[in-house]
Amino acid sequence: MALLEAVPQQDWAQADPYIRDHLAAHTLEAGLLPQLLTDPGLFAHADPVTMRAAIEAVPPEQLGAPARTYLRTAPLLTRSQAPADLRAAFLESAFVEDGLVAYADALHTLGFTLPWRTLWSVPLVGVRAVTTGSLPPQSGDGATAGSPGGPDTTGGTDGTGSPDGTPAETATVSGGAAAPAPDGSDAGPVPASPATAPRPVAAFLVPEGTPGARTVTVPGPDGDASAAGDRALLVHDLLRPGYIDADPAQVQLPSAQDRQAAPFGLSRGADYLRVWARASEEVVAALLSDTPFTGADLSPDGVLVVATARGVTARQILAAAPAPAPTVPAQRTGTADSASSDGLDGRDGLEGDHS
């Protein structure tokens, strides 16, 4: 208790480094650690090696949902040796993935400089590729359904979601007509976009037979009918939780010109992604994963949609794109802007190389 009282205004950014990094170990010895593991600020500021060791010494049945989320994220925090701001960003996404949106929202109020805000996450397995696009107004007004396991980021959560991504209950957003979600649940509708504007969406390439998926025939390269193939696709709202009951063939992809004019570019490796500002070539967001990426795309408006073995997550990039330099910038060196995904049509990227 004396160590806690020594933290100025309970602001862990101002805490003495010893208190910040070793309070968990002292609290463990006092038998009070589970009560401490509800503070997202402490999770982000504390040294992840000592914090992880202390939490792992607690019987699992005594840990609450936030502590379990921290424990599954801790290997990524220690492996990356990330500073506090990036640890907070990784934890922010993990809390959304686990349905603990209130904890994710709290990290945006604690003075961290976060590179993104996680908009939604769905625990969908088997996703092989993702892309962003839009539905025309007449197609964007169809029936929609809430995401399976995805939190309603507009209304927060009571923290009862489980770390496997299955919430105790799924919030319902008013507006629109309900349709079954891919897990068979009726999670409630998502409001339709205004009839005068295209609706931003994300499309997922999923295995045949995935509940809620629609099968579309994708033509081969250069319109070769003999190379055409069927693809099972799910359409999800880009900016909020909720699947959309719409024909995937109506999804309009950004043009190559739209991507080139976008303020951010995307580079991808097996287990990392980098978002960089085109004007300055400065990296504005770096994402690591403890499972390989199976798909990724960056919308022209800066929404990063990423698929892994765990599911699909959308993050709004928060960095402001730097203004162009007054002089002509040097030619970009190194790997060109990667293809956003393997492409929903099975080819290497939807628009080719997005450099």
Residue 274 pairs with which residues in a beta bridge?
267, 286
Q: Which residue has the higher pLDDT, 352 or 60?
A: 60
Q: Which residue has the higher pLDDT, 137 or 287?
A: 287
The structure tokens 């698929």 sit at 307
Q: Tell me the pLDDT tens digit for each residue of 232-258.
A: 999 999 999 999 999 999 999 999 999
The per-residue DSSP string of 23-57 comes to HHHHHHHTT-HHHHTT-HHHHHHS-HHHHHHHHHT
**79-110: buried (b, 16+ CB within 10 Å) or exposed (e) per residue?**
ebebebebbbbbbbbbbbbbbbbbbbbbbeeb
Residue 313 pairs with which residues in a beta bridge?
121, 306
Q: Is the pLDDT of residue 343 over 60?
A: no
The values of phi and psi at residue 23, to 5°, are -60, -40
Mean pLDDT taken over the chain:
78
| Three-state SS at 138 | coil
CB 243 within 8 A of CB 213: no
Q: Tell me the pLDDT tens digit for each residue of 172-188.
A: 222 333 333 444 433 44
Q: What is the pLDDT of residue 137?
A: 86
Q: What is the pLDDT of residue 331?
A: 43
Nearest to 230 by CA among 244, 201, 209: 209
Banded model confidence at residue 263, pLDDT cuts 50, 70, 90: very high
Q: Give the residue-averaged pLDDT of 203-219.
A: 88
Q: What percent of the chain has pLDDT above 90?
A: 56
Q: What is the pLDDT of residue 138?
A: 66
pTM, rounded to two decimals: 0.75
Q: What is the pLDDT of residue 320?
A: 73
**In angstroms, how far is CA 272 from the centroid of its own chain?**
13
Kindly list the strands in the beta sheet with 116-122, ordered across the sheet, starting from the edge strand earlier in the chain.
116-122, 312-317, 303-308, 293-298
Banded model confidence at residue 10, pLDDT cuts 50, 70, 90: confident
List Cβ neighbours of 342 (8 Å cut-off, separation of 6 or more). Answer: 128, 129, 295, 348, 349
- Helix (H) / strand (E) element for 204: namely strand 199-206
Q: What is the pLDDT of residue 107?
A: 97
Banded model confidence at residue 88, pLDDT cuts 50, 70, 90: very high
Q: What percent of the chain has pLDDT above 70?
A: 70
